[in-house]
């Protein structure tokens, strides 16, 4: 989890349609709370160890973690794999690897605390 501390904080897309608050819960768990305003939906996903695998929710495993990127491989064909790539200290890209079309890239920028997660 030490390589992922750059993710901790509040983030949103430039248009504000997606917001995320990422929090370190303990030495082995990150909580990612997301709001998707265009879909009127929110969700919380945990990134945590399950046996010998680091998992991202129920549908993805962590394939690798680098200094600036993390790759999440899908366990289900209908769920896209993801790559999160750090751009700088104030922004990162979520790259969604679709099975049926080219990958899409979403910019997330650091914002003041959103208060999406209760302490």
Domain boundaries, the chain: 2-111
Q: Are 59 and 76 in contact (CB under 8 A)?
A: yes
- The size of the chain, in residues, is 119
Res 3: pLDDT = 85
Q: Which CATH architecture has domain 2-111?
A: Beta Barrel (2.40)
Token look-up 């999406």 returns 116
CB atoms within 10 A of CB 56: 21
Q: Please give the Cα distance from 82 to 114 (Å, whole number).
A: 23
> What does the pLDDT look like over 88-111, one tens digit per residue?
999 999 999 998 999 999 999 999
pTM: 0.87
Q: What are the tokens at 77?
A: 């064909």
Q: Please give the Cα distance from 17 to 37 (Å, whole number).
A: 5
Q: How many helices (H) and strands (E) does the chain have?
A: 0, 10
| Residue 38 in this model has a pLDDT that exceeds 50 | yes
Q: How confident is the model at residue 116 (pLDDT cuts 50, 70, 90)?
A: low
Q: How confident is the model at residue 113 (pLDDT cuts 50, 70, 90)?
A: confident
Q: Are 45 and 57 in contact (CB under 8 A)?
A: yes
Q: How confident is the model at residue 2 (pLDDT cuts 50, 70, 90)?
A: confident
Res 115: pLDDT = 65
Res 119: pLDDT = 45
Round the average pLDDT of the chain to a whole number and report it. 92
Percent of the chain with pLDDT over 90: 81
Q: Which SS3 state, helix, strand or coil, does residue 1 take?
A: coil
Res 117: pLDDT = 54
């Amino acid at each position: 989890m030490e390589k992922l501390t750059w993710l901790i904080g509040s983030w949103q897309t430039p248009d504000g349609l997606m917001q995320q608050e990422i929090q370190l819960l303990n030495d082995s768990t990150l909580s990612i709370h997301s709001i998707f305003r265009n879909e009127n939906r929110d969700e919380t996903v945990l990134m945590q160890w399950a046996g010998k695998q680091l998992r991202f929710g129920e549908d993805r495993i962590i394939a690798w973690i680098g200094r600036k990127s993390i790759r999440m491989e899908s366990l289900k064909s209908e769920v896209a794999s993801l790559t999160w790539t750090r751009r700088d200290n104030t922004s990162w890209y979520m790259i969604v690897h679709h099975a049926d079309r080219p990958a899409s890239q979403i910019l997330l920028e650091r914002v003041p605390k959103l208060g999406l997660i209760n302490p």
